[in-house]
Structure 1
Amino acid sequence: MQSVRVVRSLRLAPLAVAFGLLAACAGTGGTKPQAQVTALYAQLDQATQGYDTALQQIRAGNPAAGQKTLEQTLDTLKNTAVRCGATAGCDSQRFFSAYDHMLRLKDGSSIGDEGMNEEPQTGMALDQRGAAALPEAQRSVTLLHGQKLSELIAMNGAVKAALQMWLTQWRPNLIDAWINYQYLRQQMWPAYKDADLPEALLFGIMAQESGGKVHSVSRSGAAGPLQFMYATGMRFGLTNFNGFDLRFDPASSARANAEYMNEQLQVFNDNLELTLAAYNAGEGRMKRMVGPDTSVSFYDPRIYNQLSQQTRDYVPSVLAAAWLFLHPDSYNLRFPKIDGVAGSVTLKRPASISELTVCLGSAGGMEEGWFRTLRNLNPRLDPQQEQPAGAVVQLPKLLEQSYAARCVDGPWPILAADLHSAAAPVVVDAAPPPPAGPAKTRHYKVRRGDTLVGIVRQLRCSSVEEVAEMNHLRHHHISVGQVLKVPECR
């Protein structure tokens, strides 16, 4: 294992050289820096020395000390970068560049004592212990097909802009996605682990796609926590099972997403940005754009300029969310601690998800209530449909005692049932609507590239379900040349 440490440390040596050059450049230039700027650049040089010290501690077999030294160096860089920004003539970009490089060293895949293809030894394996055995996010696998995920996330302007959005306007969405994911983690992460994909990538996609809302459906018909279109979902086994759309099942959706990502990573030669673009814009379109040169950058004008604004924003946003998943503390971000261990209860009395939400209240400190979590963990249940006594409902384990104390006897289940049975008054004296005349129809011939959703959007006066019912379509499937009967706008 000692030899592994030395080899891994030697892999990091080029970064040390880069920092040496960076510090050397700090004192050069056409003019002599002001005294304050010189002092700030001297602190940058000290940070470089701290980096070297961290490497030496790793080589000596003391990764914990190396990690501590690196964190102290990062704090120094942060504070110095702030002063640099307020000092005339000081180039802040030098500090941010060094900060970015050190974050990549801080990544768990590059400072531990595990081999390149081994699980981090600080984490626990998935076994019969279930959720308690899942490693913490900081210990999660960060390799993507043998490559460090942190080295695949380029800190360019687009990603930095997305980082700012996640840390400002989108911050509530990011926190909600984190909370939702912690309760879904036991169902979703194992599929990524089995596929040798980094957990941070799963979180980044989910945060951008649905925020962890299992029943989310987009205007284009994408559904589930990872927003699969119907046809793509079918290709990866997300069919209708006993009347339930498996796109809404967290475990099945994560499995399908992992299979899709690995398939497209192979197509695009492990180019993560092109693979994410394919997930958003469609793999067929990306293949036509990229052609045989899979080494082309996502930001190459030949690619970037042909993409929709949605896809241009999507790729850096996913990467930024993944980066924050790995390094929250380094961006002044604190994710809440969540006890996501899974549990279940057998209902002692009939209750719906809505009724359980009312009687559980803010148990466990969840001020916003448990409706979203209970829906996510029970995707097959209609939240308004009362489940019989004896039915099993999935919930966080920490709520098992709260259920017994609050939802079996006492005033809260009675109140919840009373609210659930309430109904708005029925208006009985309203005049009946005039009988509708026969609907006029016309015909539409399906062309190449048409989808049922696209056709209905052109009509502007119908719905997908109406057209599907009129033409007896199964799973919204249409074919080129098919003549559809469609409503005629009045």
Structure 2
Amino acid sequence: MPFVRFTRIFCLPPLAAAVTLLAACASNGAVHGRATSEVSALYAQLDQATQGYDTALQQVRAGNDAAGQKTLEQALDTLKNASVRCGSTAGCDPQRFFSAYDHMLRLKDGSSIGDEGMNEEPQTGMALDQGSIAALPEAQRSVTLLHGQKLSELIAMNGAVKAALQMWLTQWRPNLIDAWINYQYLRHEMWPAYKDADLPEALLFGIMAQESGGKVHAVSRSGAAGPLQFMYATGMRFGLTNSDGFDLRFDPAASARANAAYMNEQLQVFNDNLELTLAAYNAGEGRMRRLVGPDTTVSFYDPRIYNQLSQQTRDYVPSVLAAAWLFLHPDSYNLRFPRIDGVAGSITLQRPASIDELTVCLGSAGGMEEGWFRTLRNLNPRLDPQQEQPAGVVLQVPKLLEKSYASRCVDGPWPILAADLHAAAAPVVVDPAPPPPAEPARTRHYKVRRGDTLVGIVRKLRCSSVQEVAEMNHLRHHHIAVGQVLKVPECR
């Protein structure tokens, strides 16, 4: 992520000072035995990386941002290589490397890390000046302030977030890449709402990646719908109503506006506590307000809060934060998101076609090996993908497809093939005559005796199930009483 001109003043202690303290603690281990030469060499590389950190600071203070960027990247590479070797070297403390690595990543974000001292003049840090945000590349803009705080300062690298990082980088990696691709084509619709609400883009991506993966028409088993998975009542509260029979929860732009309004509302309720706000989004704001009470400074991980939440919510919050962190730092986690040209465009149909047909005739145009169905569906959420649209209808598409549509889908063999496949019909299967209705089950009665249990009664009769008898007699928790007359199926 490129550096920009930094004009804001922050108090930034040199990383070397922090690492010196760590080194001093480690040096006490010399009482129990001297470090091996290999460990000493690794620690020397750690020192080299921290010196590179200080050099990068000096270069930026001198106005040489490009050199500062290069020096910091070299320091990070040195640190990464040494930390990998440290993990397999006896006597080496990986935590020293992790602490320094996290510190450098936060420097890249322009985070303020501690104070230099009460009487010292503040130094110029690598911090983004709010006035220069408009000139930044869009990816860099995503690290701007969340209500006065850097997003990176709000993401604690605790065990839960690190575990979520591992999941996104391993088992969930395909989902993360799909979410990234889907988001790049939806970005022009969703990002403006977050930008206007002064919310970081990384947060929007993290929520979307966890909620739907960027599938605009996703619906959960609980009824949450859309790319940001709004429940019906909550969506209604934020303007996601029905428009001409279309559920606005499926509209990417409207959904992003509602999500931004919800997040700002709950951030205000929870005193800008991002973790509690995300928990409210997942578990419900009413429940979170009752759990948190008046003390909005409480941590999401405080047992009084954490232990009262479902496992789904316990996983949800760190997963969103981890996805947001990877959005900011993919290269630092050996992750490469594909380059996507998501510039918006449109086509006017020259011949009738459905989204299904367009997907067939476009094929893998533009290098999209997976095909364009999901993207076309996402960008035209009001259309039934199988419904043929008449000529003259305007469809939203990535701009890179405008020429591909003209060359592949107007004339030639592909639109003919697509139309032929679309018109194909599966054979109609005539259902056989329905079986005659089952004879109603005959019943008899059984009088409960002392010592009877419902399970024992069913076993004694050998012709029914506990659930069937419970339902026939409207029993709660299988409770029966001596002398009670039960209706039971009669054996045949």
- 1:61 deviates by 1.6
- Unaligned runs of 5+ residues in structure 1 are 124-134, 438-459, 461-490
Aligned partners of 2:309 and 2:14: how far apart in 1? Answer: 35
1:59-70 matches, cutoff 5 A = 59-70=61-72
How big is each residue's C-alpha offset from its partner over 1:95-130, in whole Å with a ceiling of 9 and x where there is no partner? 011101100111267765642x3343642xxxxxxx
Cross-structure match for 1:166? 168
1:31-430 matches, cutoff 5 A = 31=32, 32-107=34-109, 114-115=128-129, 117-120=130-133, 122-123=135-136, 135-428=137-430, 430=431
Structure 1 range deviating more: 334-343 or 12-21: 12-21
Aligned partners of 2:196 and 2:435: how far apart in 1? Answer: 60
- 1:357 deviates by 0.3
Q: Secondary structure at the match of 1:344?
A: strand
Cross-structure match for 1:431? 432
Q: Is the 8 A contact 2:56 2:72 kept in 1?
A: yes
Q: Does 1:25 align with 2:25?
A: yes
Aligned partners of 1:248 and 1:406: how far apart in 2? Answer: 29
Structure 1 range deviating more: 258-267 or 56-65: 56-65
Q: Is the 8 A contact 1:109 1:142 kept in 2?
A: no
Cross-structure match for 2:472? none
- 1:36 deviates by 1.9
Q: Residues 157, 184 of structure 1: CA spacing in aligned structure 2 closer, same or farther, 3 A cutoff?
A: same
Aligned partners of 1:206 and 1:431: how far apart in 2? Answer: 46
* 1:120 alignment partner AA: I
* 1:377 alignment partner AA: L
* 1:156 alignment partner AA: N
Aligned partners of 1:348 and 1:108: how far apart in 2? Answer: 50
Q: Secondary structure at the match of 1:211?
A: coil
How big is each residue's C-alpha offset from its partner over 1:57-81, in whole Å with a ceiling of 9 and x where there is no partner? 1211222221211111110011111
Q: Residues 301, 14 of structure 1: CA spacing in aligned structure 2 closer, same or farther, 3 A cutoff?
A: farther
Aligned partners of 1:292 and 1:16: how far apart in 2? Answer: 40
Q: Residues 5, 397 of structure 1: CA spacing in aligned structure 2 closer, same or farther, 3 A cutoff?
A: closer
Cross-structure match for 2:464? none
How big is each residue's C-alpha offset from its partner over 1:372-411, in whole Å with a ceiling of 9 and x where there is no partner? 0000000000000000000001100000001001111111
Q: Secondary structure at the match of 1:120?
A: helix
Q: Is the 8 A contact 1:215 1:379 kept in 2?
A: yes
Q: Is the 8 A contact 1:23 1:44 kept in 2?
A: no
Aligned partners of 2:243 and 2:284: how far apart in 1? Answer: 25
Q: Is the 8 A contact 1:239 1:245 kept in 2?
A: yes
Q: Is the 8 A contact 2:143 2:328 kept in 1?
A: no
- 1:417 deviates by 0.7
Q: Secondary structure at the match of 1:27?
A: helix
- Unaligned runs of 5+ residues in structure 2 are 113-124, 439-466, 468-492
Q: Secondary structure at the match of 2:324?
A: helix
- 1:28 deviates by 3.3
Q: Residues 119, 247 of structure 1: CA spacing in aligned structure 2 closer, same or farther, 3 A cutoff?
A: farther
Q: Residues 435, 257 of structure 1: CA spacing in aligned structure 2 closer, same or farther, 3 A cutoff?
A: farther
Q: Residues 390, 344 of structure 1: CA spacing in aligned structure 2 closer, same or farther, 3 A cutoff?
A: same
How big is each residue's C-alpha offset from its partner over 1:27-80, in whole Å with a ceiling of 9 and x where there is no partner? 333433222222222221222211111111121122222121111111001111
Aligned partners of 2:7 and 2:349: how far apart in 1? Answer: 57
Aligned partners of 1:436 and 1:239: how far apart in 2? Answer: 44
Aligned length: 421
Q: Is the 8 A contact 1:120 1:141 kept in 2?
A: no
Q: Is the 8 A contact 1:109 1:120 kept in 2?
A: no
Cross-structure match for 2:456? none
- 1:196 deviates by 0.3
Q: Residues 87, 324 of structure 1: CA spacing in aligned structure 2 closer, same or farther, 3 A cutoff?
A: same
Backbone CA RMSD of aligned residues? 2.0
Aligned partners of 1:371 and 1:161: how far apart in 2? Answer: 33
TM-score by length of 2: 0.82
Q: Is the 8 A contact 2:15 2:50 kept in 1?
A: no
Q: Is the 8 A contact 1:108 1:138 kept in 2?
A: no
> Which structure has the bigger radius of gyration?
2
Cross-structure match for 1:484? none
Q: Is the 8 A contact 1:26 1:41 kept in 2?
A: no
Aligned partners of 1:383 and 1:353: how far apart in 2? Answer: 5
Structure 1 range deviating more: 93-102 or 51-60: 51-60
Q: Residues 157, 194 of structure 1: CA spacing in aligned structure 2 closer, same or farther, 3 A cutoff?
A: same
* 2:107 alignment partner AA: L
Cross-structure match for 1:476? none
Q: Secondary structure at the match of 1:279?
A: helix
Aligned partners of 2:181 and 2:330: how far apart in 1? Answer: 14
Identity of aligned residues (%): 84
Aligned partners of 1:18 and 1:122: how far apart in 2? Answer: 33
Structure 1 range deviating more: 258-267 or 65-74: 65-74
* 1:155 alignment partner AA: M
